[in-house]
Amino acid sequence: MAALINVPPRAKRGDIIEIKTLMSHVMETGYRRTATGDIVPRDIITNFTCRYNGAEIFRAELFPAIAANPFIAFFTIAAESGTFDFEWTGDNGFSATAKAAITVE
Amino acid sequence: MRRQDDTTRRRFLALAGGAAVAGAAPIVSVRPAQATPATMAAAIHNVVGEAMVHIGKVKLDIPPLVENGNTVPMIVSVASPMTAEEHVRSIHIFNEKNPQPALASFYLGPRAGRAQVSTRIRLADSQKITAIAHLSDGSFWTISVDVVVTLAACTEEVI
């Protein structure tokens, strides 16, 4: 369970910044079979949320068609200094969080 | 030896007949092997409802020829000023031939600044990808692109 987050450490107020996230996860589709014909059970991340100082700015619903180690990049306006909270949840009680700080001048 | 063959064939036919009867019963639901354009249309209907879907505003950036369907970079963007009055509420991505018609749904807001999301997807076959954007004024905009995939994802055997 390792997350890679790329947020610019500082930005000018009003700048549009890109946030890149990557979470290590197999994203097993549930459609693959082993050599003996058994279905490999589904195990995916279903939801991703990003909060900026507590307010939700981005949310995604994921399906098995998202590649392993889901990479999601999106934009936001640098409004104030603070933290980004990232949360991934999924099958089999999967839950992971990450944080990133930003200084807005 | 010959008798043995007959019994197995008879047993097989009996089993197959039983399976056919079970298949005809309406309570048995069979999971389809792949999403079809019809199931994609149904999935789109779930999001859009009866609203009119316009063509344009949305841009879907996927390589037209994909060597490995297991990880395909995709960038979806919408031409929108992203202000409080006029912004993109959500973007939904669909496909025709993966086992499920939905690829992903992204929920944005005026704080996004730019309506653009990048991710990596799996594609099981050469097919059409459709993106639908829901704007703050309630309108829906769409774009479709065709992708050729040489190595399929999703259903291959685990080694």
pLDDT in tens, A49-62: 999 999 999 999 99
Exposed/middle/buried for residue B136 (C-beta within 10 Å: 0-12, 13-18, 19+)? middle
- CATH code where residue A77 lies: 2.60.40.10
Evaluate whether residue B96 is within a structural domain: yes
Between A21-25, A60-64, B23-27, the lowest mean confidence (pLDDT) is in: B23-27
The boundaries of the domain holding residue B17 are: 1-30
pTM of the full predicted structure? Answer: 0.82
Residues from chain A that touch B114, judged by Cβ atoms under 8 A, are 16, 75
Q: How confident is the model at residue B24 (pLDDT cuts 50, 70, 90)?
A: very low
- Greater confidence, A34 or B62? B62
Spatial distance between the Cα atoms of B59 and B61, rounded to a whole number of angstroms: 6
| Number of domain units in chain B | 2
Q: B98-127: per-residue pLDDT in tens?
A: 889 999 999 999 999 999 999 999 999 899
pLDDT at A37 over 90: no
B157 within some domain: no
Chain A residues at the B interface, defined by Cβ less than 8 Å, are 16-17, 20, 29, 31-35, 40, 52, 55-68, 70-77, 79
pLDDT tens column, B131-159: 999 999 999 999 999 999 988 776 566 65
Choice between B26 and B109, residue whose per-residue pLDDT is larger: B109
Same structural domain, B68 and B25: no
